[in-house]
Chains A and B, each alone.
Chain A
């Protein structure tokens, strides 16, 4: 293990160039996957590549992208959140009921739930708990709360939220603008600021960070709170599109969000994540999940399998590229 850096130091410039090219290819993989899916759609149904086509196809891409970003923050700290799906559902139920009928109470509940996320981060760090188990337990808590808030599907999204989500800007469809904005804002915050580097460092080399005097408790709390924040945004965006809620509305998002992060070039350990990649991964999944399959006349039964297959294909491609990198 320790010999690797010495090896690369003696590599010839040709080998170094090849490694750099492989790294570049690896970085472009999320964009390539998206381009491939888009090309397939364009080939199968050219009419889909239009302003209205994108508006329809990417309808649900914004909440998926936000949930993926949420998951990305915990993954940056070497943790995993298996409750993000039911959390999005819970936020959806609150949005369609309290946030419309009593906005102040609704805001307080949503802020409180972000606080719960922050507390979970502290708990996981202080008691050294496996995040998988804690968040798996929390997924039941959020689902239970969602059912208590909204026992039957229904409710109604606040008008201002409906207005935002049905914006029709000229030339570029709203989902694309929103996705770009989300990707760029998070990219700047996490990749270009000094505290962003510290947050990623807490996943990359926690021991070094601690010795340098940074609080790992604080980084974990911040990462979990950010996950909660983007989970809240995802739930609100979802309800802005669907207009009403259901306690199970977000259940599929847990797996979609993890898949999106990995598709976007994120790694499970080591704080190696990419916000723009994660958004591209989410868009790829949103497009591949139903529009592509519908155009290919694949029955909805196989949509989940398609997500799994895409994940496996991209990971296989990454392994092939990584081999070149060495």
Chain B
């Protein structure tokens, strides 16, 4: 009984409860039809939100004003880079993945360079960077519809007993991220900076280096996400990352991470990502039009954030 109580006290449990409720509502509507397939599909799609969500979570945890708005552009460019480097051949898969990560990490590093050198708020730095990345992507990927190598597309869509392999790997990755956050010097430093940047600096945390690492990490995760998305959807395009601006921020907030910084929550990112994906599945199953779907998605996000409340504003 106490274990149930302590479980309910965890902020991330609610995102899983929400995901479960949405799933039950949907299978209630279909009369149980496709319940398993829906979980498989939700897991496959949630993976992409979780990967960028974790990157965004580390950035937001750095404290008020820290947010990475360049993720969508980053994902778009990295997907094109990955597909171009792979060039449709299975032997180049690893090289292509590394290229996408390098591309994303470089974007993250440039983001921090702008923040540090121009002393501008991260919002405007990542925003101006994303303008430029978008243009680079449009002109680099013009008319380009390169298919991923068959081996990579199969890997991105590979399932064992109805569970996507990518989802299993992402679970391992998030466990790693949770350990890094709670048990390693890097993660503890991120939390310390988010709680009080001055105190962290006085305590000897190398604030500049940790912030640099965090933005680079977020960029690199955006890069790998772009490559995986292109593999999963069997092709790269400029708009492939567009929905991940709202999604990456929303999963962080819904998942119980404090927007004021200094308090992060990894399991919540999974719960919130599943919630969002299942929500879309539900609205599609109900057969609502695109307008109603957007309207309800927006209202539910605003509603959830209002219910979760906030201690301090993000900026």
Q: Can you list 12 residue pairs at the A/B interface with Cβ under 8 Å?
A: A79-B313, A128-B312, A129-B305, A130-B313, A133-B250, A140-B246, A140-B301, A144-B293, A144-B294, A255-B131, A259-B128, A312-B128
Q: Choose one: B129, B142, B246, B293; the contact of A137 (CB below 8 Å).
A: B246
- Which residues, 272 to 315 on B, are CB-close (under 8 Å) to A? 289-299, 301-302, 305-306, 309-315
Answer whether A315 and B249 are a contact pair too, CB < 8 Å, given A131-B315, A147-B294.
no
Which bucket holds chain B's interface residue count? Answer: 35 or more
Say yes or no: B114 contacts A312, CB within 8 Å: yes
Judge if A307 is at the interface, Cβ distance under 8 Å: yes
Number of A-B contacts (CB under 8 A): 160
By secondary structure, the A interface counts as helix
Apart from A138-B298, A308-B129: 5 A-B pairs, beta carbons within 8 A: A131-B314, A132-B315, A133-B259, A141-B299, A304-B131
Give chain A nearest CB distance to B201 CB in angstroms. 14
Judge if B146 is at the interface, Cβ distance under 8 Å: no
Task: List residues of chain A with CB within 8 A of the CB of B5.
Answer: none
Say yes or no: A315 contacts B120, CB within 8 Å: yes
User: Digit string of A252-270 for contact with B (CB within 8 Å is 1, else 0)?
Assistant: 0001001100100000110
Judge if B11 is at the interface, Cβ distance under 8 Å: no
Return the chain A residue nearest B129 by Cβ: A308
- Which residues, 110 to 127 on B, are CB-close (under 8 Å) to A? 114, 117-121, 123-124, 127
Task: List residues of chain B with CB within 8 A of the CB of A139.
Answer: 246, 298
Judge if B135 is at the interface, Cβ distance under 8 Å: yes
Give chain A nearest CB distance to B112 CB in angstroms. 14
Judge if B7 is at the interface, Cβ distance under 8 Å: no
Ranked 8 nearest A-B pairs via Cβ: A308-B131, A140-B298, A144-B295, A144-B294, A305-B135, A147-B291, A130-B314, A141-B298
Task: List residues of chain A with CB within 8 A of the CB of B290.
Answer: 144, 147
Give chain A nearest CB distance to B143 CB in angstroms. 11
Task: List residues of chain B with CB within 8 A of the CB of A308.
Answer: 127-132, 135
Judge if B67 is at the interface, Cβ distance under 8 Å: yes
Task: List residues of chain B with CB within 8 A of the CB of A52.
Answer: none
Answer whether A301 and B139 are a contact pair too, CB < 8 Å, given A133-B259, A255-B127.
yes
Judge if A280 is at the interface, Cβ distance under 8 Å: no
Task: List residues of chain A with CB within 8 A of the CB of B138.
Answer: 301, 304
Judge if B265 is at the interface, Cβ distance under 8 Å: no
Say yes or no: B298 contacts A80, CB within 8 Å: no
Say yes or no: A137 contacts B315, CB within 8 Å: no
